[in-house]
């Protein structure tokens, strides 16, 4: 156990992991933050998939989703981009366009905005998307026991795989 500032502490965990028949020894640190388990480490490139990944039922079937007119002020906007093994976009849901230009991703996080990192398979699309662009992102789903389900990594902000990105500003 390591105390970082006198009252916050990290648990150090040593893991013996088998990956594709090879055994590795990795070290991770964990902390509870806002009732979520944060897992940190440098060794395991699959760490983000174990950081609270869960299976959940989607509330409703996806229907044809179309964008409101691009000039509509409220919607889902890309507020950040990055490559974490794969290209990702950070989308803030149900915000006004003005906030995209005036706030940083950290400010959205501090305000507990509804955010989601989406992993994209299409690197050309990733390159073409811009911060501030209004989008609708469909999460990748599959059928399990007759219901549509998907995986969300409960990191902060959470992460999911995108199956489709609808561009509202184009």
User: Which pLDDT tens digit goes with each residue over 32-86?
Assistant: 666 666 666 666 655 655 555 444 434 334 444 567 665 557 889 999 999 878 8
The domains located in the chain, with CATH, are: 2-51 (no CATH), 74-167 (2.40.50.140)
75-93 per-residue burial string, b: 16 or more CB within 10 A, e: under 16: bbbbbbbeeeeebbbbbbe
pLDDT at 90 > cutoff 50: yes
Per DSSP, 85 falls in state S
pLDDT at 134 > cutoff 90: yes
Residue 119, beta-bridge partner list: 88, 161
Predicted TM-score of the model (pTM) = 0.61
């Amino acid at each position: 156990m390591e105390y970082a500032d006198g009252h916050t502490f990290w648990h150090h965990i040593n893991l013996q992991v088998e990956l594709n028949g090879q055994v590795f020894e990795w070290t991770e640190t964990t902390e509870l933050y806002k009732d979520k388990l944060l897992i940190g480490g440098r060794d395991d490139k699959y760490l983000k998939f174990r950081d609270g990944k869960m299976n959940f039922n989607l509330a409703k079937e996806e229907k044809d989703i179309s964008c409101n007119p691009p000039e509509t002020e409220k919607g889902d906007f890309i507020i950040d981009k990055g490559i974490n093994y794969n290209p990702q976009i950070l989308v803030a849901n149900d915000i006004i366009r003005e906030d995209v230009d005036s706030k940083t991703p950290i400010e959205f996080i501090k305000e507990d905005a509804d955010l989601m990192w989406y992993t994209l398979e299409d690197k050309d699309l990733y390159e073409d998307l811009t911060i501030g662009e209004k989008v609708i992102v469909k999460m990748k789903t599959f059928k399990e026991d007759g219901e549509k389900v998907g995986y969300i990594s409960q990191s902060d902000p959470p992460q999911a795989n995108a199956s489709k990105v609808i561009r509202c500003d184009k």
